[in-house]
Amino acid sequence: MSQITGAGFENVSIETVRDYWDARPCNIRHSRAVPGSREYFDEVESRKYKVEPHIPGFADFERWRGCQVLEIGCGMGTDTINFARCGALVTAVDLSGKSLELARRRAEVFQLLDRVRFFRADTERLGDFLPSGSYDLVYSFGVIHHTPHPGRALDAMRTFVKPGGTLKLMVYHKWSWKVLWMLIVYGHGRFWRLPRLIAEHSEAQTGCPVTHAYSRREARRLVEEHGFEVTDLRVEHIFPYRIEDYLEYRYREVWYFRWLPTTAFRWWERRLGWHLCVTATAR
């Protein structure tokens, strides 16, 4: 597999990855309300789907009513709760204990604890943590590119999918506007530092220990080498907002996006987006 390598990601311990996400669970600062309150979770969800509006369509929450869903890397549980609201029975897994605390609290606040089971687990060794089971959907949005060995994670996930079941996976796209921006702003054109630049600046908090990135072809190969057949692969998501405004909960676009017609912006997103969204069927 020829994803972006050369940064020694395969030598990073899973404990290092866990400590990074425990220190600041993803999206934890998406609200100024009291953490754990209904207002807090509502604002986190609203902000997440405003910035990443393609997620509900990709997840297709309603489709999984009455189905068994395994979510790998549930984080604070935003997508988890939407699967459960729509009638799925969800098993939610995360490496970060801090994230799981918030996800459980979210399920409690929305009275959905009877529809969600939570497990703390290393994605590369799911069988060591989860009871045996067979799922209609395995869903993982923005997760396995942060584990040292994504192929091992996919092998582990494959054992939990029903034959003919569905995998929905998002990994980062290396031929994206965001990577170009990192290369110019932080790397000053030093392309040989790209693997570490992507890891350091892939998330809101700098210094992520592992971040793999893939081309379309590499993402397809990654999935299909581990027991799945890709049925849809699309590129989504360019972040258009001024970061200094966004941190203050204002949505003001960068000038060069502000004057771009919506149709033109969507054209660029489908080619240079940061999210590679893959749908596949288990062989």
Would residue 233 count as lying in a domain? yes
Q: Is the pLDDT of residue 6 over 70?
A: no
Would residue 41 count as lying in a domain? yes
pLDDT recorded at residue 160: 97
Distance CA 168, CA 233 (A): 10
Would residue 54 count as lying in a domain? yes
Whole-number mean pLDDT of the chain?
A: 94
pLDDT recorded at residue 195: 87
What is the DSSP-derived secondary structure letter of residue 62? Answer: G
What is the band of 247 on the pLDDT scale with cuts at 50, 70, 90?
confident
Would residue 180 count as lying in a domain? no
- The answer to whether 80 and 91 are in contact (CB under 8 A) is no
Q: What is the pLDDT of residues 202-220, one digit of tens each?
A: 998 899 999 999 999 999 9
Would residue 84 count as lying in a domain? yes
Q: Could you tell me the CATH number of the domain that includes residue 95?
A: 3.40.50.150
Would residue 156 count as lying in a domain? yes
Range(s) of the domain holding residue 229: 9-172+211-238+265-282
pLDDT recorded at residue 93: 98
- What's the Cα-to-Cα distance from 117 to each of 35, 82, 100, rounded to whole Å? 21, 14, 11
- Structurally, the chain folds into a number of domains equal to 1
- Greatest CA separation found in the chain? 52
Would residue 1 count as lying in a domain? no
Q: What is the pLDDT of residues 43-55, one digit of tens each?
A: 999 999 999 999 9
Which residues make Cβ contacts (< 8 Å) with residue 241, sequence separation at least 6? Answer: 51, 251, 252, 253, 254
What is the band of 189 on the pLDDT scale with cuts at 50, 70, 90?
confident
What is the DSSP-derived secondary structure letter of residue 227? Answer: T
Q: Is the pLDDT of residue 101 over 90?
A: yes
Classify residue 36 as left (phi > 0), alpha (psi -120 to 50) or beta.
Answer: left
pLDDT recorded at residue 188: 83
pLDDT recorded at residue 5: 44
Neighbours of 23 (CB within 10 A): 12
Would residue 252 count as lying in a domain? no
